[in-house]
Amino acid sequence: MINRVVLVGRLTRDVELRYTTSGAAVGTFSLAVNRQFTNASGEREADFINAVIWRKSAENFAQFTSKGSLVAVEGRLQTRNYENQQGQRIYVTEVVVDNFSLLESRAESESRRSSQGATQTNNNGFGGNNGGGFNAQPSSNPFGSAEPSNGNVFGGAQSSAAPKNDPFAGQGQEVSLSDDDLPF
């Protein structure tokens, strides 16, 4: 049997983080996922899908996201039921999240929050003078170059000025390789 769900959407509200009596963190949230087509009036509709995330992943997800954050989640679809106080049987279908990815940069999420009129931004332990992990300020590149790393410690796109020690920067020359040069 296969039960896998992959969703890309925006959070409709901040993650509601709670703890069980045994101390396990559980986060609940809803994702707005756009449909692939438009309705008769030319507007794109969205589905609002409930999800739950557990333990350390829940704490991390709640810390690094907020209402409007663009995220991808992967998990399984689960249906559960319970009896409410009026004695009615209630059925709940939700995605139980196994993995998630943040799909916007910290700068994008902060600018979105400020444009929504947020009065305070959450630093989430990154940068600043709080001793947090990654610093988005220019610093020396940890990979040996004296050029600023532009806050990108994982490689990827660099600043528009090419590093001085890059032998292929701006040369426009092709590199010729023969089959004998390849290790396979």
What per-residue confidence (pLDDT) applies to 151?
41
What per-residue confidence (pLDDT) applies to 168?
55
Q: What's the rounded mean pLDDT across residues 31-40?
A: 90
What per-residue confidence (pLDDT) applies to 124?
39
Residue 162 corresponds to which tokens in the numbers above? Answer: 């090419």
Say whether pLDDT at 19 is over 80. Answer: yes
User: Which residue type does 149 have?
Assistant: S
Q: Residue ranges per domain, the chain?
A: 5-115, 123-154
Q: Are 22 and 2 in contact (CB under 8 A)?
A: no
Say how many C-beta atoms besides its own lie within 10 A of residue 92's C-beta: 11
What per-residue confidence (pLDDT) applies to 167?
56
131-174 pLDDT per residue, tens: 333 333 333 444 443 444 344 434 444 444 445 565 555 555 56
Say what the pTM is.
0.59
Q: Which residues make beta-bridge pairs with 150? A: none
Residues 6+ apart with CB under 8 A from 134: 126, 127, 151, 153
Q: Distance (Å, rounded) from C-alpha 27 to C-alpha 2?
A: 24
3.10.50.30, 3.40.50.12780, 2.60.40.10, 2.40.50.140: which CATH number matches 5-115?
2.40.50.140
Residues 6+ apart with CB under 8 A from 19: 25, 26
Residues 6+ apart with CB under 8 A from 105: none
65-89 pLDDT per residue, tens: 988 899 999 999 999 999 999 999 9
99-129 pLDDT per residue, tens: 999 998 888 877 777 777 644 444 333 333 3
Residues 6+ apart with CB under 8 A from 87: none
Say how many C-beta atoms besides its own lie within 10 A of residue 11's C-beta: 19
Q: What's the rounded mean pLDDT across residues 13-29?
A: 93
- Could you give the C-alpha distances from 110 to 67, 69, 117, 151, 159, in angstroms and in order? 11, 10, 11, 16, 21
What per-residue confidence (pLDDT) applies to 129?
37
